[in-house]
Amino acid sequence: MSKKEPVIFDIGWNACINCGACVAICPKEAGFISAFDTIAVGRPCDIACLLCEDICPVSTITHKAA
């Protein structure tokens, strides 16, 4: 399988309901968390599985290439 390109996330805070589901599904190492208890924003994720986007009940996570 080809390695995925790293991504960087943006969270629409207006819609985020602080449910923690994105952190629960995330397979990254400990601590890839934002100050608002979501997956980290502003630093790249090299796994780029995008499960965090899939689980978000209000689809408020988007990404761009890091």
Partner 1 sequence: MSTSQYDLVIIGSGPAGATTARFAAEQGLKVLLVDKRQELGAPIQCSGAVSRHALEEVGVAPEEEFIHEPIYGFGIYNEKGEKKTIDYRQLKAEEYGQEEGKKPLGYVVDRRRFDRYLMTQAERAGVEVWLKTEGLSYQPNNDGSCDVYLRRFNQAITARARVLVGADGLQSQVGKWANLRTHIKITELASCLQFIVDQVETDGLLEIITGHEWAPGGYAWVFPKGHGYAEIGLGVIPTMTDKNAQWHLDQFIKHSFFKERFRNSRILEIQGGGVPLASPLRTQYADNLILVGDAARHVNPITGGGIHTALSGGAIAGNFLADFLNQGRQPTAANLKAYQDGWLEEIGNKMWQLYEVKTDIFRTHDIRQRDALLFQTMSGYFSPHSEYKKI
Interface contacts to ligand SF4, rule CB under 6 A: 11, 16-22, 25-28, 32, 38-39, 45, 47-52, 55-58, 60-61
Among 25, 41, 47, 48, indicate the residue that binds partner 1 (CB under 8 A): 25
Indicate which of ligand SF4, partner 1, none lies near residue 24 (CB less than 5 to 8 Å, by partner kind).
Answer: partner 1
Are 52 and 22 in contact, with CB atoms under 8 Å apart? Answer: yes
Which string of b and e fits 32-58 if b means at least 16 CB within 10 Å? ebbeeebbbbeeebeebeebbbebbee
Least distance from ligand SF4 to the Cβ atom of residue 23, Å? 7
